[in-house]
Structure 1
Amino acid sequence: MPDGPVVTSHPVVEAVLAHYRLQIGPDLDTYRNHVYRGLNYQRRLLGRKEVSNDQALTWAVHDLGIWTARTFDYLAPSAELARQHAGEAEVADLPRVIQMVELHHKLRPVHDPLIETFRKADRIDVMRGHLRSGLGRREVDEITEALPYCGFHRFLLREATRHITRHPLHPLPMFRW
């Protein structure tokens, strides 16, 4: 394990998820595992053993607006949650946290390594590790074994379908050029 064991708990992530557990409801394990898989992929892409509070908060809130704002156009609501929890999470660089949330579905690369690895890590998870952005198959398997998908891709398909049927002219509002 070149970058340490799989991280399955972080106080910032746990505090945020506990705060919104009722809103997330039955999707809590699905989202929690997505958060930690992404956090681990990013940590490995960066070659780090530790997870900063900035990264932990970003992962905890990056898609949370789906539940709190009840929308698939969730980047702005999720960024607002980062602002709300930054103090208690002892975030060092809130503007960068906001950028990680707002740009994590950007289609083109970002020049900031922290933001770019966040974007790649989220994509690795959404693509079930088929696009690994430099991680080995073994690393992805190790992380998904510790943090199973729990219906994550079924959830994405359900929410995307629900949004597309209501907004056919704006099917995937979270993507940025």
Structure 2
Amino acid sequence: MEAEPAADLAGVPDAFQRLWTPHRMVYINGENKPSDADESSCPFCRAPGQADDEGLIVARGESCYVVMNLYPYNPGHLLICPYRHVSWLTDLTDRETIEFTRLAQKAMRVLGEVSHPHGFNLGVNQGAVAGAGIAAHLHQHVVPRWQGDSNFMPVVAQTKALPQLLEDARALIAARWAVIDEP
């Protein structure tokens, strides 16, 4: 019986360069996603009860706050969340709507100064069918974008290379947030 070629054995080096991202499995498997509208299982309801660095909170307003996305598309990917556990943009009060929008505007200004992106994706996915990973708690994505930041990796390998740790990005953004002027 012939021995198997070395390239067929698990863990044996071959010609492929691999980026292993096992941390993504928690997202794929649904960890931190509330199973229903139960506020006690909602990560967006739990985060404000933690210290800012522990909860990855960048800034706190009166009715809304800004937090790093635990599963970012790009470095500096922020989420704007109301403190109140509501699912729909139409459920916000006028006061919450104004602060929700102003925090998104300031997030863009701060990220512009800290990271110098070429553009942004802003998005609110309403309902699981529309792509909301946590449909029970409203949140808006603020994603900085750079020319050429997306390549074949997310499409072919379901992998995104991120050059900055969440904690490091949070510290830079939070420091700048504290000193940037409002419009």
Relative to the length of structure 1, the TM-score reads: 0.30
Relative to the length of structure 2, the TM-score reads: 0.29
Q: Which structure exhibits the higher relative contact order, with contacts defined as CA atoms closer than 8 Å and separated by 6 or more residues?
A: 1
Greater share of residues in strand: 2
Which structure has the larger Rg over C-alpha atoms? 2
